[in-house]
A = this chain, B = another copy of it.
Amino acid sequence: MSGPMQAFGHIRMFLLCQASTLSRRTNRVAVIRLETSMISREAPNFPINVFDLSKGQSAYRQGDTRDGWYEVTDGFIALCHYFGDGRRQVSRFVGPGDAFGFGIGLRQFSAEALTDVRLKRHTFEVAFDDTTSPIHINTPHPALRRAMEAVEGTIRLFSYTHASDRVAAFLLNFSRYDGHTETLHLPMSRQDLADHLGLTMHTVSRSICDLARRGYFQLERPDLIRISDRARLEQLVEYEPTPDHEQLVA
């Protein structure tokens, strides 16, 4: 019981902070804002840590538990993902005024300081009320966090410099819509794929046909693939699944 109670202590402190804020407005307006906004109105003294990193240090590392999101006050940070085979993908560089570290599940990226950096950390908090349903505090909408995760997953595709690797990685990832089964249905054209992967239609077509010829899957129709030996395909591209939709807890 210590976990939940501890979190509740936070909330108690927080409520006191808010009381003064509320008194400055009409209740009505205040309630509207608070009820419906996806904006976090963080109270003073609510856990926001300010801290510094020197060049080369990390705010967090790939694989860490996700504990909050960050804002850069000063300096620059690279958000980078490491693959098992040594490839590295920098999702973006963040500088003064930028925020990062949303998303779901474990950290997919390391946040490495390129310079000396000052950061603000906004902690995710979870408490429990009497009904045992969790209350998420300062936590973005799950749909939004998943969307962020998906976009960052797309960026990871560009760590492949060879066209057929990139295509293969995309196909494996996209097969989540078919429940990662043998059958993979493609609703988009080759041109759409090309525009997604930064290739030409021809290269996409060649890559898919080549992969099929090399036995990684069967191309039953242009838009229907049967992945006979999934493991071999995954091995080809050091496949890393994106976090499942179920992993919604911060």
> Which A residues fall within an 8 A CB radius of B?
11, 14-15, 18, 25-26, 28-29, 31-43, 46, 69, 71, 75-76, 78, 80, 88-100, 102, 114-115, 125, 127, 129-131, 135-144, 146-148, 150-152, 154-155, 158-161, 174, 177, 187-188, 192, 195-200, 245
The residue of chain B having its C-beta at the shortest distance from the C-beta of A131 within the complex is B25
Q: Is the CB of A195 within 8 A of B37?
A: no
Verify B151–A92 contact, CB threshold 8 A. Answer: yes
A36, A69, A127 — most chain B CB neighbours (10 Å): A36
A135 adjacent to B33 (CB under 8 Å): yes
Contact partner of A93 among B91, B147, B196, CB < 8 A? B196
Q: What is the CA–CA distance of A154 and B129 in the complex, to the nearest angstrom?
A: 41
Contacts of A151 in B (CB 8 A): 91-92, 148, 151-152, 155
Residue of B nearest to A124 (CB): B38
Residue among B11, B96, B127, B195 making CB contact with A90, cutoff 8 Å: B195
